[in-house]
Structure 1
Amino acid sequence: MSQATKRKHVVKEVLGEHIVPSDQQQIVRVLRTPGNNLHEVETAQGQRFLVSMPSKYRKNIWIKRGDFLIVDPIEEGE
């Protein structure tokens, strides 16, 4: 699959679907992007943390300050 075809399908997936967050997912607001596909976000309760973007969305979907995202929590390792 060419890069253009892949990009078309990824953008269609993101913009064309209506997603309702599950119980584990959260809606957060982007505060800043320190780099390396990391984004500092804030929940509605004021909790701040870093999230990373899955590799299939990198270079295809652009996120900027003030955007809202749905995030999946992961277990933290030691």
Structure 2
Amino acid sequence: MSKVTKRKHVFNEALWDDFELPKENQTVVKLLKSVGNNLHEVTTPSGEVYLVSMPTKFRKNIWVKRGDYILVEPIAEGNKVKAEIVNILNKDSIKYYKQCKVWPKEFEDKQEIKTNTDEIFVNTNRKHQIVIESCSDTTDSESEADSASDSDKK
């Protein structure tokens, strides 16, 4: 399978609308930060913080960022890395989990507070420019007539 075909299948699987509810050994966690080497620090609804690994099928195909919710499955080997990512949850899957009442209540309050304006990036490096346009047509035509009469005098 080529890279493009693999990427297409993994991306379609992540966006698939046929959502599955988490199994008894899977949990929903919130991503806190990426620590490198495809390891991510997450927090559980109870507040426990640990590392999870990203499987090879997701690497270089799907990216996650701080604040994303993911579905993880615990792994037996390892003391620091306690789980592996099973699925990355998008807005639609989160909505489905809430309808089925499997969404953790600890994450529900924080999710509803976030608004669309929080996601807008504001560039603070540039000064804001205010453009004032005149609405009156008579002043524009008078100023053009004045400039034309000035050019006739020369």
- Does 1:2 find its partner at 2:24? no
Structure number having the greater strand percentage: 1
Gap regions ≥5 residues in structure 1: none
Q: Shift of residue 6 of structure 1?
A: 0.7
Map Cα deviations across residues 21-42 of structure 1 (whole Å, 9 max, x no partner): 1110000000000100000000
- Does 1:27 find its partner at 2:28? yes
* Same amino acid, percent of matched pairs: 55
Find runs of 4+ consecutive structure 1 residues off by over 3 angstroms: none
Q: Shift of residue 19 of structure 1?
A: 2.3
Q: From the CA coordinates, give the structure whose radius of gyration is larger.
A: 2
Gap regions ≥5 residues in structure 2: 80-154
Would the alpha carbon gap of residues 36 and 18 (structure 1) be closer, same or farther in structure 2, given more than 3 Å must change?
A: same
The AA in structure 2 aligned to 1:71 is V
Aligned length: 78
Q: TM-score, normalised by structure 2?
A: 0.49
Q: Shift of residue 76 of structure 1?
A: 3.6
Matches of residues 38-53 of structure 1 in structure 2 within 5 Å? Answer: 38-53=39-54
The AA in structure 2 aligned to 1:35 is G
User: What secondary structure, in the 3-state scheme, does the structure 2 residue paired with 1:72 have?
Assistant: strand
Which structure has more relative contact order (CA 8 Å, sep 6+)? It is: 1
Would the alpha carbon gap of residues 60 and 47 (structure 1) be closer, same or farther in structure 2, given more than 3 Å must change?
A: same
Structure number having the greater helix percentage: 2
